[in-house]
Copies of this chain bind each other. A is one copy, B any other.
Protein backbone atom coordinates (compact mmCIF):
# COMPACT_ATOMS: atom_id res chain seq x y z
CA UNK A 1 0.00 0.00 0.00
CA UNK A 2 1.44 3.39 -0.89
CA UNK A 3 1.91 5.79 2.00
CA UNK A 4 1.36 9.51 2.36
CA UNK A 5 3.97 11.11 4.59
CA UNK A 6 4.13 14.64 5.91
CA UNK A 7 7.31 16.66 6.20
CA UNK A 8 7.22 17.88 9.79
CA UNK A 9 8.84 21.24 9.03
CA UNK A 10 7.05 22.48 5.93
CA UNK A 11 3.88 20.40 6.19
CA UNK A 12 4.41 19.09 2.65
CA UNK A 13 2.80 15.68 1.99
CA UNK A 14 4.59 13.23 -0.30
CA UNK A 15 3.54 9.85 -1.68
CA UNK A 16 5.96 7.04 -0.93
CA UNK A 17 4.94 4.78 -3.75
CA UNK A 18 5.86 1.30 -2.58
CA UNK A 19 4.03 -0.33 -5.50
CA UNK A 20 6.61 1.02 -7.88
CA UNK A 21 9.51 0.85 -5.44
CA UNK A 22 12.75 1.54 -7.23
CA UNK A 23 16.20 0.22 -6.50
CA UNK A 24 19.30 2.16 -7.56
CA UNK A 25 19.66 0.20 -10.79
CA UNK A 26 16.12 1.11 -11.90
CA UNK A 27 17.04 4.71 -12.61
CA UNK A 28 18.29 5.66 -16.06
CA UNK A 29 20.64 8.59 -15.79
CA UNK A 30 23.71 10.45 -16.90
CA UNK A 31 27.00 9.30 -15.30
CA UNK A 32 28.99 12.38 -14.39
CA UNK A 33 32.72 12.08 -15.04
CA UNK A 34 34.80 15.06 -16.18
CA UNK A 35 35.74 14.66 -19.84
CA UNK A 36 38.28 17.47 -19.94
CA UNK A 37 38.12 20.47 -22.22
CA UNK A 38 40.77 22.56 -23.88
CA UNK A 39 39.88 26.03 -22.78
CA UNK A 40 38.07 25.79 -19.48
CA UNK A 41 37.74 29.26 -17.88
CA UNK A 42 38.08 27.69 -14.42
CA UNK A 43 41.46 26.02 -15.12
CA UNK A 44 44.76 27.55 -13.89
CA UNK A 45 46.32 29.76 -16.55
CA UNK A 46 42.89 30.92 -17.74
CA UNK A 47 42.28 33.34 -14.86
CA UNK A 48 41.76 36.19 -17.32
CA UNK A 49 38.69 34.41 -18.71
CA UNK A 50 36.73 35.11 -15.52
CA UNK A 51 36.00 38.44 -13.82
CA UNK A 52 38.75 39.29 -11.25
CA UNK A 53 38.65 37.07 -8.15
CA UNK A 54 37.00 38.26 -4.93
CA UNK A 55 38.74 35.59 -2.83
CA UNK A 56 41.42 32.96 -3.38
CA UNK A 57 43.38 30.50 -1.30
CA UNK A 58 46.78 30.05 -2.88
CA UNK A 59 50.12 28.37 -2.41
CA UNK A 60 51.92 30.92 -4.58
CA UNK A 61 51.45 33.63 -7.19
CA UNK A 62 49.56 36.92 -7.06
CA UNK A 63 45.84 37.67 -7.53
CA UNK A 64 44.38 36.25 -10.75
CA UNK A 65 47.55 34.23 -11.38
CA UNK A 66 47.98 30.45 -11.18
CA UNK A 67 49.07 29.00 -7.82
CA UNK A 68 45.62 29.01 -6.20
CA UNK A 69 43.95 26.00 -4.64
CA UNK A 70 40.49 27.61 -4.52
CA UNK A 71 39.15 30.68 -6.25
CA UNK A 72 35.96 32.74 -5.93
CA UNK A 73 34.96 34.94 -8.86
CA UNK A 74 31.82 36.88 -9.79
CA UNK A 75 29.63 35.00 -12.23
CA UNK A 76 30.39 36.22 -15.75
CA UNK A 77 26.65 36.33 -16.51
CA UNK A 78 25.33 37.35 -13.11
CA UNK A 79 21.64 37.00 -12.29
CA UNK A 80 22.02 39.98 -9.93
CA UNK A 81 24.30 43.01 -9.65
CA UNK A 82 25.89 44.67 -6.63
CA UNK A 83 25.52 48.24 -7.93
CA UNK A 84 22.44 50.43 -7.58
CA UNK A 85 19.51 51.00 -5.31
CA UNK A 86 16.81 48.52 -4.46
CA UNK A 87 14.21 50.92 -5.73
CA UNK A 88 11.14 49.00 -4.56
CA UNK A 89 8.11 50.12 -6.53
CA UNK A 90 4.68 49.19 -7.73
CA UNK A 91 3.74 48.51 -11.34
CA UNK A 92 -0.04 48.62 -11.48
CA UNK A 93 -1.20 45.76 -9.35
CA UNK A 94 2.28 44.28 -9.15
CA UNK A 95 5.49 44.82 -7.13
CA UNK A 96 9.10 44.88 -8.22
CA UNK A 97 12.58 46.02 -7.27
CA UNK A 98 15.99 46.21 -8.91
CA UNK A 99 17.99 43.01 -9.14
CA UNK A 100 20.51 44.03 -6.49
CA UNK A 101 22.61 41.22 -5.08
CA UNK A 102 25.66 39.10 -5.79
CA UNK A 103 26.23 36.01 -7.88
CA UNK A 104 29.61 34.31 -7.39
CA UNK A 105 31.27 31.08 -8.42
CA UNK A 106 33.47 29.05 -6.07
CA UNK A 107 36.01 27.11 -8.14
CA UNK A 108 36.67 24.25 -5.75
CA UNK A 109 39.98 22.96 -7.08
CA UNK A 110 42.44 23.76 -9.87
CA UNK A 111 42.16 20.12 -11.03
CA UNK A 112 39.75 19.90 -13.96
CA UNK A 113 39.53 16.12 -13.88
CA UNK A 114 38.42 15.75 -10.27
CA UNK A 115 34.92 15.90 -8.83
CA UNK A 116 34.22 17.14 -5.31
CA UNK A 117 34.07 13.46 -4.25
CA UNK A 118 37.62 12.95 -5.61
CA UNK A 119 39.47 15.87 -4.03
CA UNK A 120 41.26 15.57 -0.65
CA UNK A 121 39.30 16.30 2.52
CA UNK A 122 41.29 19.50 2.99
CA UNK A 123 40.02 20.88 -0.33
CA UNK A 124 36.41 20.21 0.67
CA UNK A 125 37.01 21.89 4.02
CA UNK A 126 38.39 24.92 2.17
CA UNK A 127 35.20 25.15 0.11
CA UNK A 128 33.23 25.51 3.34
CA UNK A 129 35.71 28.06 4.71
CA UNK A 130 35.35 30.02 1.49
CA UNK A 131 31.54 29.94 1.86
CA UNK A 132 31.98 31.31 5.38
CA UNK A 133 34.44 34.02 4.31
CA UNK A 134 32.11 35.21 1.58
CA UNK A 135 29.08 35.29 3.90
CA UNK A 136 31.01 37.31 6.52
CA UNK A 137 32.01 39.78 3.83
CA UNK A 138 28.65 40.08 2.06
CA UNK A 139 26.53 40.37 5.19
CA UNK A 140 28.12 43.76 5.84
CA UNK A 141 25.95 45.00 2.99
CA UNK A 142 22.67 45.64 4.83
CA UNK A 143 20.62 45.53 1.63
CA UNK A 144 21.34 41.80 1.40
CA UNK A 145 19.07 39.53 3.41
CA UNK A 146 19.82 35.98 2.37
CA UNK A 147 22.69 33.98 0.87
CA UNK A 148 22.08 30.76 -1.02
CA UNK A 149 25.03 28.40 -1.40
CA UNK A 150 24.49 25.57 -3.81
CA UNK A 151 26.17 23.13 -6.11
CA UNK A 152 24.85 21.74 -9.39
CA UNK A 153 26.84 18.65 -10.33
CA UNK A 154 26.46 17.36 -13.88
CA UNK A 155 24.59 18.77 -16.84
CA UNK A 156 21.26 17.17 -15.91
CA UNK A 157 21.48 18.97 -12.55
CA UNK A 158 22.00 22.31 -14.26
CA UNK A 159 25.82 22.64 -14.34
CA UNK A 160 26.89 24.44 -17.50
CA UNK A 161 30.66 23.97 -16.92
CA UNK A 162 32.10 20.63 -15.87
CA UNK A 163 35.07 21.93 -13.82
CA UNK A 164 33.82 21.36 -10.28
CA UNK A 165 32.36 24.49 -8.68
CA UNK A 166 29.66 25.81 -6.35
CA UNK A 167 27.68 29.01 -6.54
CA UNK A 168 26.62 31.76 -4.19
CA UNK A 169 23.64 34.05 -4.69
CA UNK A 170 23.06 36.93 -2.27
CA UNK A 171 19.52 38.29 -2.34
CA UNK A 172 17.74 41.41 -1.09
CA UNK A 173 14.79 39.23 -0.01
CA UNK A 174 14.39 36.00 1.94
CA UNK A 175 13.13 33.44 -0.59
CA UNK A 176 9.67 32.05 -0.02
CA UNK A 177 10.63 28.41 0.60
CA UNK A 178 13.31 29.45 3.06
CA UNK A 179 10.83 31.63 4.94
CA UNK A 180 8.34 28.80 4.89
CA UNK A 181 10.85 26.38 6.40
CA UNK A 182 11.76 28.87 9.10
CA UNK A 183 8.08 29.56 9.81
CA UNK A 184 7.32 25.83 10.00
CA UNK A 185 10.19 25.30 12.44
CA UNK A 186 9.00 28.30 14.43
CA UNK A 187 5.50 26.86 14.73
CA UNK A 188 6.92 23.63 16.17
CA UNK A 189 9.13 25.60 18.55
CA UNK A 190 6.18 27.65 19.78
CA UNK A 191 4.27 24.45 20.49
CA UNK A 192 7.03 22.23 21.90
CA UNK A 193 9.71 24.71 23.03
CA UNK A 194 12.23 22.57 21.19
CA UNK A 195 13.95 22.89 17.81
CA UNK A 196 12.38 20.44 15.38
CA UNK A 197 15.70 19.64 13.72
CA UNK A 198 17.21 18.82 17.14
CA UNK A 199 14.24 16.45 17.65
CA UNK A 200 14.81 14.93 14.20
CA UNK A 201 18.49 14.35 14.96
CA UNK A 202 17.64 12.59 18.25
CA UNK A 203 14.80 10.56 16.84
CA UNK A 204 16.68 9.46 13.72
CA UNK A 205 19.83 8.54 15.62
CA UNK A 206 17.69 6.44 17.95
CA UNK A 207 15.63 4.70 15.25
CA UNK A 208 18.58 4.26 12.92
CA UNK A 209 16.60 3.04 9.89
CA UNK A 210 17.01 6.28 7.95
CA UNK A 211 20.58 7.05 9.05
CA UNK A 212 23.23 7.03 6.31
CA UNK A 213 26.19 7.91 8.53
CA UNK A 214 26.92 9.55 11.87
CA UNK A 215 29.85 11.36 13.47
CA UNK A 216 30.21 13.31 16.72
CA UNK A 217 29.26 16.48 14.87
CA UNK A 218 26.77 15.42 12.16
CA UNK A 219 24.06 12.98 11.20
CA UNK A 220 23.34 12.24 7.54
CA UNK A 221 19.81 10.92 7.10
CA UNK A 222 17.22 10.13 4.48
CA UNK A 223 14.39 12.42 5.63
CA UNK A 224 11.05 10.89 6.63
CA UNK A 225 9.12 12.48 3.75
CA UNK A 226 11.68 12.93 0.97
CA UNK A 227 10.58 14.52 -2.29
CA UNK A 228 13.14 12.57 -4.31
CA UNK A 229 14.72 9.09 -4.29
CA UNK A 230 17.98 9.06 -2.31
CA UNK A 231 17.46 12.62 -1.03
CA UNK A 232 19.84 12.96 1.95
CA UNK A 233 20.19 15.67 4.59
CA UNK A 234 23.34 16.42 6.61
CA UNK A 235 22.27 17.92 9.95
CA UNK A 236 24.69 19.21 12.61
CA UNK A 237 24.09 17.54 15.98
CA UNK A 238 24.35 20.62 18.21
CA UNK A 239 21.83 23.39 17.62
CA UNK A 240 23.09 26.16 15.32
CA UNK A 241 20.94 28.43 13.19
CA UNK A 242 23.63 29.95 10.95
CA UNK A 243 26.07 27.92 8.84
CA UNK A 244 28.69 30.69 9.09
CA UNK A 245 28.91 30.25 12.88
CA UNK A 246 30.23 26.69 12.50
CA UNK A 247 33.39 26.23 14.59
CA UNK A 248 36.65 24.81 13.25
CA UNK A 249 36.34 21.22 14.60
CA UNK A 250 32.84 20.84 13.13
CA UNK A 251 33.96 22.41 9.83
CA UNK A 252 36.80 19.92 9.67
CA UNK A 253 34.43 17.06 10.37
CA UNK A 254 31.90 18.36 7.81
CA UNK A 255 34.48 17.87 5.06
CA UNK A 256 34.80 14.20 6.05
CA UNK A 257 31.02 13.74 6.15
CA UNK A 258 30.44 15.38 2.77
CA UNK A 259 33.24 13.40 1.15
CA UNK A 260 31.91 10.14 2.62
CA UNK A 261 28.34 10.86 1.53
CA UNK A 262 29.32 11.88 -2.01
CA UNK A 263 31.45 8.77 -2.40
CA UNK A 264 28.62 6.57 -1.17
CA UNK A 265 26.23 8.27 -3.60
CA UNK A 266 28.73 7.81 -6.46
CA UNK A 267 29.08 4.16 -5.54
CA UNK A 268 25.40 3.29 -5.16
CA UNK A 269 24.06 5.41 -8.00
CA UNK A 270 27.04 5.30 -10.39
CA UNK A 271 28.20 8.91 -10.20
CA UNK A 272 24.81 10.57 -10.69
CA UNK A 273 24.18 14.25 -11.29
CA UNK A 274 23.09 15.94 -8.06
CA UNK A 275 22.12 19.24 -6.45
CA UNK A 276 23.25 20.25 -2.98
CA UNK A 277 21.97 23.30 -1.13
CA UNK A 278 22.88 24.77 2.25
CA UNK A 279 19.73 25.70 4.16
CA UNK A 280 20.67 28.41 6.65
CA UNK A 281 19.21 31.46 8.41
CA UNK A 282 18.89 34.97 6.97
CA UNK A 283 22.26 36.72 7.29
CA UNK A 284 21.02 39.86 9.07
CA UNK A 285 19.27 37.88 11.83
CA UNK A 286 20.80 36.92 15.18
CA UNK A 287 20.91 33.34 16.43
CA UNK A 288 17.49 31.66 16.13
CA UNK A 289 16.43 29.07 18.73
CA UNK A 290 13.99 27.44 16.31
CA UNK A 291 15.96 27.09 13.06
CA UNK A 292 18.90 24.75 12.46
CA UNK A 293 21.13 24.94 9.40
CA UNK A 294 21.65 21.81 7.31
CA UNK A 295 22.60 20.60 3.83
CA UNK A 296 20.17 18.91 1.46
CA UNK A 297 21.67 16.66 -1.22
CA UNK A 298 19.39 15.53 -4.06
CA UNK A 299 20.65 13.07 -6.68
CA UNK A 300 18.99 13.89 -10.00
CA UNK A 301 17.41 10.54 -10.87
CA UNK A 302 13.88 11.38 -11.95
CA UNK A 303 12.25 14.00 -14.11
CA UNK A 304 10.04 16.43 -12.29
CA UNK A 305 6.70 16.67 -14.07
CA UNK A 306 3.72 19.01 -14.23
CA UNK A 307 2.18 17.37 -11.24
CA UNK A 308 4.99 18.48 -8.96
CA UNK A 309 5.18 22.02 -10.40
CA UNK A 310 1.48 22.53 -10.10
CA UNK A 311 1.04 21.32 -6.60
CA UNK A 312 4.32 20.97 -4.71
CA UNK A 313 3.18 17.39 -4.18
CA UNK A 314 5.78 14.72 -4.90
CA UNK A 315 5.66 11.02 -5.73
CA UNK A 316 8.80 9.25 -4.56
CA UNK A 317 9.29 5.68 -5.77
CA UNK A 318 12.02 4.83 -3.23
CA UNK A 319 11.15 4.60 0.49
CA UNK A 320 13.77 6.53 2.49
CA UNK A 321 14.45 3.49 4.69
CA UNK A 322 15.58 1.56 1.60
CA UNK A 323 17.61 4.46 0.20
CA UNK A 324 19.35 4.89 3.56
CA UNK A 325 20.19 1.20 3.74
CA UNK A 326 21.78 1.21 0.28
CA UNK A 327 23.89 4.25 1.16
CA UNK A 328 24.71 3.03 4.68
CA UNK A 329 25.91 -0.34 3.39
CA UNK A 330 28.03 1.13 0.60
CA UNK A 331 31.76 1.58 1.11
CA UNK A 332 33.56 4.86 0.56
CA UNK A 333 35.95 3.75 -2.17
**A residues within 8 Å of B by Cβ?**
1-6, 8, 10-13, 15-17, 19-20, 77-81, 84, 91-99, 148, 150-152, 155-159, 167, 169, 171-173, 175-178, 180, 196, 199-200, 203, 207, 224-225, 275-279, 296, 298, 303-307, 309-313, 315
Beta-carbon nearest neighbor of A202 in chain B: B93
Beta-carbon nearest neighbor of A157 in chain B: B305
5 closest A-B pairs (Cβ-Cβ)?
A158-B305, A2-B99, A275-B306, A277-B310, A177-B312
Copies of this chain present in the complex amount to: 2
Chain B residues whose C-beta falls within 8 Å of the C-beta of A275 in the assembled complex? 305-306, 309-310
Once the chains bind, are B99 and A156 in contact (CB under 8 Å)? no
Chain B residues whose C-beta falls within 8 Å of the C-beta of A305 in the assembled complex? 150, 152, 157-159, 275
Chain B residues whose C-beta falls within 8 Å of the C-beta of A10 in the assembled complex? 176
Once the chains bind, are A306 and B312 in contact (CB under 8 Å)? no
Q: How far is the CB of A232 from chain B (nearest CB, A)?
A: 13
Query: Given the known A-B contacts A157-B303, A306-B152, A306-B277, are A176 and B11 also in contact in the complex, defined by CB atoms under 8 Å?
Result: yes
Distance, CA A279 to CA B96, complexed state (A): 25
Distance, CA A96 to CA B3, complexed state (A): 7
Chain B residues whose C-beta falls within 8 Å of the C-beta of A98 in the assembled complex? 1-4
When the two chains form the complex, which single residue of B77, B91, B304 contacts A20, counting CB atoms closer than 8 Å?
B77
When the two chains form the complex, which single residue of B155, B171, B224, B313 contacts A171, counting CB atoms closer than 8 Å?
B313
Chain B residues whose C-beta falls within 8 Å of the C-beta of A78 in the assembled complex? 2, 19
Distance, CA A124 to CA B11, complexed state (A): 36
When the two chains form the complex, which single residue of B2, B6, B79, B178 contacts A95, counting CB atoms closer than 8 Å?
B6
